[in-house]
């Protein structure tokens, strides 16, 4: 049966996700972290792109991010059939690593099964870039995670928020709110981010990089290099 273009199967799946909530499905095998700053004054800023993306992933997976633990807001559930924890550190960006390390140590999750989602001022809005490891690229949150874990061997998904104009200070730029057009371009990437996280969890990081690196939602602007 189809009601207003929505099948009963889709409706039952939605109810299943809602009912599951934060059901504990076993020890997390993966931790997916969205970076940002806590507080309503930072909502919609470039630096909070990771928070926004993790909220989208949580909604898609039926995971409620509402528990306070590991200096973070967190929720647990399943993605790609694997138990995961979604994390939004509440330590402010520059100390993100303290929260991430606490969660990784508690559940004995190695860096290669940590996925970090962050903003990137070197990418235009509407583009994402996936790496399986590497440097912080000047991002203070990634720097602190690398420092805290003593490892850069974790995959990350970086979301374009636009390059800083010469006349802007970097702090003011990343803590500034995006204009409507750029914000819409950012939001349009969230389904690609969601799928890329799923592919990484399935062990298909190369597929995620090949499919999404530098590609806009309409499929233009391919940039498939780099790991």
Could you confirm whether 139 is annotated as catalytic? Answer: no
Distance CA 72, CA 78 (A): 19
- Go through the chain and tell me how many residues it has: 227
Which of 46, 47, 76, 158 is catalytic? The answer is 47
Which of 224, 157, 155, 223 lies closest to 192 in space, CA to CA?
Answer: 157
Structure tokens at 6: 């929505």
Residues that are catalytic: 47
């Amino acid at each position: 049966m189809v009601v207003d273009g929505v099948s009963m199967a889709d409706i039952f799946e939605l109810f299943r996700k809602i009912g599951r909530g934060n059901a504990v499905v076993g020890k997390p095998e993966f931790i997916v972290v969205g970076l940002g700053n806590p507080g309503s004054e930072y909502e919609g800023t470039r630096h909070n792109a990771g928070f926004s993306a993790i909220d989208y992933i949580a909604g898609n997976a039926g995971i409620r991010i509402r528990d306070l633990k590991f200096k973070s807001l967190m929720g647990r559930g399943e993605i790609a059939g694997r138990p995961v924890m979604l994390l939004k550190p509440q330590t402010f960006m520059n100390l993100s690593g303290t929260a991430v390390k606490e969660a990784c140590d508690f559940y004995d999750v190695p860096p290669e099964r940590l996925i970090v989602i962050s903003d990137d001022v070197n990418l235009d809005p509407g583009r994402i870039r996936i790496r399986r490891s590497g440097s912080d690229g000047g991002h203070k949150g990634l720097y602190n995670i690398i420092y805290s874990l003593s490892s850069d061997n974790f995959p990350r998904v970086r979301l374009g928020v636009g390059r800083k104009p010469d006349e802007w200070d970097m702090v003011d730029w990343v803590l500034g709110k995006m204009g409507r057009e750029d914000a819409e371009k950012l939001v349009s990437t969230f389904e690609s981010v969601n799928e890329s996280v799923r592919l990484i969890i399935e062990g298909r990081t190369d597929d995620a990089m090949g499919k999404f690196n530098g590609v806009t939602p309409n499929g233009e602007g391919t940039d498939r290099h780099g790991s």
